[in-house]
Copies of this chain bind each other. A is one copy, B any other.
Amino acid sequence: MGKARWIWYPGDFEIWIGNRFNNRRTERGAMFPPFWKQDSHWPTVVFATTVKLEEPETVTIVSEGRFSLAVDGALQTHFDIPAGEHRLSVKVWNQVSPPTILVSGKTVNSDSTWLVTYEDKIWIDETGQAHGSGIYVPAASWWFDSPATPPSHYRLPTTPMRPVSREFISAGKTLYDFGRETFGYLHFKGLHGPGGFSIYYGESREEALDAKHCETLDTLQPCGKAEGKVASKAMRYVCVERSGRADFDELTLDHEYAPFDKGRSGSFSCNDDELNDIWKVSAYTLELTTREFFCDGIKRDRWVWSGDAIQSYLMNYYLHFDTECVKRTVRLLRGKDPVTAHVNTIMDYTFYWFISIADYYLYTGDTAFVSEMWPKMVTLMDYVLSRTNGNGMADGKPDDWIFVDWVDFPMHKRGSLSFEQILFWKALKTMAHFSVGCGSAAAHLPDYDSLADHIRQKTNGSLWNPDQHTYLHAIEDGTLNRQVTKFPNIFAILYDFVDEEEKPLIAEHVLLNPTVPPITTPYMRFYELEALCTMDMQTEVLRQMKNYWGGMLRLGATTFWEKYNPEEKGTEQLAMYGRPYGKSLCHSWGASPIYIIGKHFLGVRPTKPGYSEYEVRPSLGGLQWMKGDVPTPYGLIHVEMTAEEVRVKSDGGQGTLVVDGEKTALPPEELVVVRRECH
């Protein structure tokens, strides 16, 4: 064993901190928890290990929760371990936060080699012999390694930040502007005088000035204290209104952020300043929405949503490669058994959850995490399979939310949607893929591959229009709904649900067809642009990115939005859900250019798990030059490209550079330069 670490039951840290995270949402002062099931950590767990000591050793045990130590099954009151081979087990009970321990001794230290169970299942046989038959799994740990850093004390770091301007609106009412979207705890210094403060937040100036309709607000009653902080909020602007003679000397923000390793982060620059800005604002958007978990947006929901998260993960693989945050988010989204609803109650979000694990594995090669999640993948898929219709297709039950996307046109969401079947198929393929490696339990599992084939066959048989090269919308009550939307057709391309030769025809008939309603969320634009990139349409994608994301920048965006419809005018752009400031202006799914640029312009992607093998297939898409870095488990892959040459250097993994159809090997840590014929 190495250095002592705090250890806990895998997933329990996330479930516990996740409840705090999701329940921080407020709507005009009222607490607003999610409407899906919130789970709890196991209140009582047993940590166990076997040690072989050359000499007796006294260990120190620090815990969160009450605990007892047993050596070879016998309860101890002193922590002296005799020499020889012994089974140590520490049982900990904590209702308030996950039971955790930090065991440290000369050689005995707690870490992820320890096992843990929520049920040790001791039983006594007919001879009086005690047996333990609990299911033990590897204990979880992170960087927490001292008595001063128990896991439940974990908080994101903060740094002070000052407003860039303030504006006196009227008597006792001041508007502060932090210059761009930000997040943190307002910090009032030098409070004095009787009375209090009303605080109105705005992602826009209009919102902060609209006390009646702004989405978030606070009050502060100093009660004689010289300093005051309020709960964390998103804002660019904040309007503070004094009541009585209350006042303060200075207002700052404790900006809260997720730390990252700058030396191992993605980067991008090119000759096009607008695209550079798009990349930078995307990166900032993703940084703000990367917190204890990847959340949707920082102002309104602040919740962890699976459909949003799968995109954040993918962007993150091209920005900070924060794998811990991916794992935390995947664990929280899944929660605990029994499964009583789809992930976030949304059927598509269940499917994304499966697919995100396949993505995670491809980018990281982390088999331990897949093994940890596998039993929960099985029980979630059991839930899905228990709810299919007579044809085996994934229809929404009356209590399922079928989301697909926010759309401005009428679209029924009941029956067998082709969109849902394609995601279901991909989820089944993910199960089939991992079921090969995930051990003996597989013998009792459904044949996921056959189920997937069945879904493809049924979908192609009933929802595919070969003349129009189009997946039609749905079968509802036995009737084919012939509506054409981009959604299923995008995913048919992306997930290889159709043959290669069919893809350009689908693109032509649907994706690039102006009579098909356009997508108005960056959420689905993510997939749309990627689908086009897979067909080498980077020039078209660049045009669309500059148009769409550039459009938000031209309207003054400092982070990218939940939804953007270029047709809307003025403050219409702020409204959503029937509320004047309902729209989130810092939404993770707005940050997709990071992913599109990293994967399809710089052209870097793993071809074997964890970048042990990878491909660099750069594409200027009309740019004169570009350069950038993509993070990998080995460090970075640096790519530079002009019309004349491509230069690549990676910190590890076996790469293949594909330029103008020519392949060149990319050995680790070696600069490879490929000269191009004039293009």
Contacts and interface: CB of A to CB of B under 8 A. Distances in A.
B28 A121 contact: no
Interface string A597-632: 000000000000000000000000000000000000
Contact of A121 (B30, B128, B341, B577): B341
A75 B30 contact: yes
A76 B28 CA distance: 9
A40 B30 CA distance: 26
A643 to B, nearest CB: 48
Contacts of A30: 68-69, 75-77
Given A37-B118, A413-B126, A43 B31 contact: no
Contacts of A95: 16, 19, 40, 96-97
A92 to B, nearest CB: 9
Chain A interface, >50% SS class = loop
B121 A399 contact: yes
A412 B127 CA distance: 9
A630 to B, nearest CB: 37
Contact of A401 (B67, B124, B345): B124
Contacts of A77: 28-30
Contact of A133 (B37, B68, B399, B410): B399
A42 B33 contact: no
A115 to B, nearest CB: 15
A31 B341 contact: no
B36 A121 contact: yes
Interface in A404-430: 410-413
Contacts of A340: 119
Interface in A74-89: 75-77
A269 to B, nearest CB: 40
B76 A31 contact: no
A398 B75 contact: no
A95 B95 CA distance: 8
Interface string A574-605: 00011000000000000000000000000000
Contacts of A43: 19, 38-40
7 contacts: A16-B95, A30-B77, A35-B121, A35-B122, A37-B42, A121-B401, A123-B400
B121 A345 contact: yes
Contact of A337 (B35, B66, B338): B338
Contact of A119 (B35, B68, B75): B35
A300 interface: no
A27 interface: yes
B44 A126 contact: no
Contact of A38 (B32, B44, B338): B44
A132 B398 CA distance: 10
A254 interface: no
A16 B63 CA distance: 21
B93 A33 contact: yes
Nearest to A133: B399
Nearest to A396: B123
A125 interface: yes
Nearest to A400: B123
A310 interface: no
A76 B346 CA distance: 26
A66 B35 contact: no
A649 interface: no
A367 interface: no
Shortest Cβ-Cβ A-B pairs, 9 listed: A123-B401, A40-B40, A133-B399, A30-B75, A35-B122, A38-B44, A37-B119, A31-B68, A30-B68
